[in-house]
């Protein structure tokens, strides 16, 4: 269900998506799971995530977008998260467009208030029962012109379920650690030898991250040996 937009109807937006999903004219990104489009007309901008795939994979990709929609519902009203307008035609996720650059493109200085705001946003997100799980990816963190953080792409986010769900509890707690570790890595640009005592409380590498790093280093060393 799509919230009412005063500049375009759901039917008109669905038709616009149908006309442009097969082209790269308005594509922000594209992959095997889906395509992200930028709608822009008459000073209005929207980010639209469209599921792709065949008759087997498309329903799964659509379900992932609906999962992301539920995450945005839990985070509604957060200033560090784009507003979500809902699902167009019950399959395309429609989001507010926010001007900004990724933290890869424009990294604020370590002493910038940006990181205090980021930490506050992560805490609020966790209080609402959501953990991002992929905040380390620099494309998922935007920096606005006035150096505000904007967290995007909740495709693999985990939300805390009520009751006794042991696997969910494990994944949620693991994702919490991933989020805080990502905050510290972004702030210190991965130079963790410079981390402050205050921030050290938020940086605690998990066994998964340690093993993953060792595997990456192993294959990187092997590739370098091959091309010596």
Nearest Cα residue to 125 out of 64, 187, 72: 72
- 145 — phi, psi (to 5°)? -60, -30
103, 186 contact by CB (below 8 A) = yes
204, 178 contact by CB (below 8 A) = no
CA atoms within 13 A on the CB side of 117: 19
Q: pLDDT at position 102, please? A: 98
| pTM exceeding 0.75 | yes
Q: What is the rounded CA–CA span in Å between residue 108 and residue 187?
A: 8
Q: Where are the beta strands (DSSP E) in 89-138?
A: 92-96, 101-102, 130-131
Q: What is the rounded CA–CA span in Å between residue 52 and residue 59?
A: 9
Looking at the DSSP bridge assignments, the partners of residue 49 are 36, 93
Nearest Cα residue to 154 out of 87, 100, 74: 74
Q: pLDDT at position 205, please? A: 85
In the chain, domain spans: 10-96, 103-226
Q: pLDDT at position 220, please? A: 46
- Give me the tens of pLDDT residue by residue for the chain, a chain 228 residues long: 788 799 999 999 999 999 999 999 999 999 889 999 999 998 999 999 999 999 999 999 999 999 999 999 999 999 999 999 999 999 999 999 999 999 999 999 999 999 999 999 999 999 999 999 999 999 999 999 999 999 999 999 999 998 889 999 999 999 999 999 999 999 999 999 999 999 999 999 888 777 766 665 644 454 444 444
Looking at the DSSP bridge assignments, the partners of residue 95 are 47, 84
Place of tokens 């498309």: 58
| Lookup: tokens for 27 | 């594509």
CA atoms within 13 A on the CB side of 29: 11
Q: Give the CATH number of domain 103-226; options: 1.10.3720.10, 1.10.510.10, 2.40.10.10, 3.40.50.300.
A: 1.10.510.10
Q: pLDDT at position 224, please? A: 42
69, 84 contact by CB (below 8 A) = yes
Q: pLDDT at position 4, please? A: 79
Q: pLDDT at position 158, please? A: 97
125, 151 contact by CB (below 8 A) = yes
Residues 6+ apart with CB under 8 A from 156: 133, 134
Q: What is the rounded CA–CA span in Å between residue 9 and residue 12?
A: 5
CB 103: neighbour CB atoms within 10 A?
20
Domain made up of 10-96: CATH architecture: 2-Layer Sandwich (3.30)
103-226 and 10-96 share a CATH fold: no
Q: pLDDT at position 96, please? A: 97
């Amino acid at each position: 269900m799509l919230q009412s937009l005063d500049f375009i109807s759901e039917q008109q937006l669905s038709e616009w998506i149908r006309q442009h999903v097969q082209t790269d004219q308005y594509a922000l990104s594209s992959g095997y799971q889906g395509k992200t489009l930028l709608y822009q007309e008459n000073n209005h901008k929207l980010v639209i995530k469209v599921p792709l795939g065949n008759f087997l994979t498309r329903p799964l990709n659509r379900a992932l977008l609906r999962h992301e929609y539920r995450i945005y519902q839990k985070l509604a009203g957060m200033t560090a998260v784009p507003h979500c307008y809902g699902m167009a035609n019950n399959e395309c996720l429609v989001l507010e467009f926010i001007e900004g650059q990724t933290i890869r493109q424009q990294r604020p200085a370590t002493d910038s208030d940006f990181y205090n705001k980021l930490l506050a946003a992560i805490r609020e997100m966790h209080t609402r029962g959501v953990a991002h799980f992929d905040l380390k990816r620099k494309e998922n963190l935007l920096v606005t012109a006035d150096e505000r953080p904007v967290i995007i792409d909740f495709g693999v986010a985990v939300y805390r379920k009520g009751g006794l769900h042991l696997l969910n509890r494990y994944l949620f707690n693991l994702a919490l650690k991933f989020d805080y570790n990502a905050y510290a890595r972004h702030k210190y640009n991965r130079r963790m030898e410079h981390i402050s005592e205050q921030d050290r409380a938020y940086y605690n590498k998990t066994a998964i991250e340690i093993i993953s790093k060792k595997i990456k280093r192993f294959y990187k060393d092997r590739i370098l040996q091959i091309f010596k």
